[in-house]
Amino acid sequence: MKIATVDVDVLRVPVDRPYVAAGRAVDANWHVLARVTTADGVQGFGYIVYPRPDLMMAIGHASRELGEHLVGLSVLEPEAAWDRLARRGDWVGPGGLLHCALTPLDVAVWDAAGKTMGQPLHRLLGGYRDRLPTYASDGLWVSLSPDELAASAKSHVDNGFPAVKLRLGKEPTPELEARRVHAVRAAVGPDVRIMVDATESWSLTRARQTGRILQDSGIAWLEDPVHHLDVAGLAALRRRLDIPIAAGEHLYHLDAFRSLLDARAVDVLILDLARVGGVTPWRKIAALAQAHRIPVCGHVVPEIQVHLLCAVPNGYLVEYVPRSAGILKSMPRLERGELVAPQKPGLGLELDDAAVRRYRVSS
């Protein structure tokens, strides 16, 4: 059960179809992959993924340096391990690069703990359910024309997804933003849920104007309509609109989530695993949200998020963006509109070792 070795790699995994996100071209998904191996031969792994190379090498170096302090610790004590590493780096935290460097290590420890105990992670963390409704958001970019967006959404629905999430924020008027939603609605039919992500691109005034038009389009939620630091604006917008407001993926630590929840600024809380610092703090934030009667969703990495969301009573939806499929032998399966949590011990995932070697840029 004691950790004997820790290995960290940075990987560049090319995408099949390059695209533009937030005004930048994306041609690969970058990973920081950590593997911990115990003295009795159990190996756990974890990673973060980002669609651009910015600071990924720096995060890899930080994760490698922090990982040295895991040696000798038990994988059955992830809380103690996380606290030890966080204290080592607290002078540059909480949050930021520190949390991104902590996350691959923390996930790897939890994976090894599940394998040691012979239990899948969702059961080890609470076992509330073993599957959860999912939605597709891959390939539904703001750079697409309305017709291209509609075709991409229909493709997801044809592949079994009961809901899709679109990016907005490029059009000059609220009416043109709504036209994108209408194009998708016409393509997917009346029964598919449509979520909208404004990617923090609007002022509060613009968010009010566009939100009023979008709620008449029947969207299921409006995500990140204003900057994440504008908690008062987000709360005011929530009071003025009838559609649910989703936010939270840009926050790093528990206090920031507490402020957001205390302000009654969201109807749905979204957690980014890398930013919050891994599984260990993710659980605390989800519990805080439950105390406020707010459901939680995960941001990307569905193959890991499905475990976390299935473990808690207020888990809501899994965002399906398979950025790491290229380094895994298989992704969790989609079944009747739900993503099924793997049943093998730990994450229940298997690395494609040949792909890891092929895509490695630093070790």
Do 106 and 129 sit in the same domain of this protein?
A: no
Query: In this predicted model, what pLDDT tens digit does every residue of 240-272 receive, in sequence order?
Result: 999 999 999 999 999 999 999 999 999 999 999
Q: Find the mean pLDDT for residues 154-160.
A: 96
What integer is the mean pLDDT of 34-45? Answer: 97
Residue 18: band (very low, low, confident or very high) from pLDDT cuts 50, 70, 90:
confident
Residue 1 pLDDT exceeds 70:
yes
251 found inside a domain: yes
pLDDT tens digit sequence for 295-325: 999 999 999 999 999 999 999 999 999 999 9
Indicate the pTM of the whole model.
0.95
Regarding whether 221 and 82 lie in a shared domain, the answer is no
Structure-model confidence comparison of residues 201 and 26, the more confident one: 201
Can you give the residue range of the structural domain that contains 52? 3-118+352-362
Average pLDDT over residues 356-363: 89
Same domain assignment for residues 97 and 131: no
In the numeric block, the tokens 């528990």 are attached to 254
- Report how many domains make up the chain: 2
What number of other Cβ atoms are within 10 A of residue 322's Cβ? Answer: 17
Q: Please tell me the predicted confidence (pLDDT) of residue 363.
A: 60
Cβ atoms of residues 290 and 119 within 8 Å: no
Burial 27-37 (b: 16+ CB within 10 A, else e): ebbbbbbbbbb
Q: Are residues 167 and 249 part of one domain? A: yes
- Say if 185 falls within a structural domain: yes
> What pLDDT shows up at residue 343?
97
As given in the structure block, the two tokens for residue 360 are 């490695």
Q: What is the DSSP string of 229-283?
A: T-HHHHHHHHHH-SS-EEE-TT--SHHHHHHHHHTT--SEEEEEHHHHTSHHHHH
Band (pLDDT 50/70/90 cuts) for residue 22 is: low
- CATH number of the structural domain spanning residue 18: 3.30.390.10
Domain identity same for 134 and 114: no
323 plus 194 within the same structural domain: yes
Q: Does residue 346 form part of some domain?
A: no
145-156 b/e (C-beta count within 10 Å ≥ 16 → b): ebeebbebbbbb
* pLDDT tens digit sequence for 169-210: 999 999 999 999 999 999 999 999 999 999 999 999 999 999
Q: Are residues 235 and 173 in the same domain?
A: yes
In a domain, 180, yes or no: yes
Least confident of 9-23, 60-74, 80-94, 181-195: 9-23
In this structure, are 214 and 184 located in the same domain? yes
pLDDT digits (tens, 9 = 90+) for 277-301: 999 999 999 999 999 999 999 999 9
| pLDDT value for 19 | 77
Both 95 and 175 in a single domain?
A: no
Residue 303 CA to residue 328 CA, distance in Å, equals 10
The verdict on 252 and 104 lying in the same domain is no
Tell me the mean pLDDT in the region 58-69. 97
Is 107 a domain residue? yes
Same domain, 157 and 302: yes
Which two structure tokens, joined as six digits, stand for 100?
A: 């991104």
Provide the mean pLDDT of the chain: 96
Residue 90 in domain: yes
Longest dimension (CA), the chain: 61
Residues 274 and 277: their CA atoms lie apart, in Å, by 5
Tell me, what's the pLDDT at 11?
Answer: 98
Q: Indicate if 139 and 23 belong to the same structural domain.
A: no
Q: Which CATH number goes with the domain that contains 300? A: 3.20.20.120
| pLDDT (average), residues 21-35 | 88
Residue 345 lies in a domain: no
Single-letter code of the amino acid located at 295: P
Tell me the torsion sign for CA atoms 19, 308, 80, 344: negative
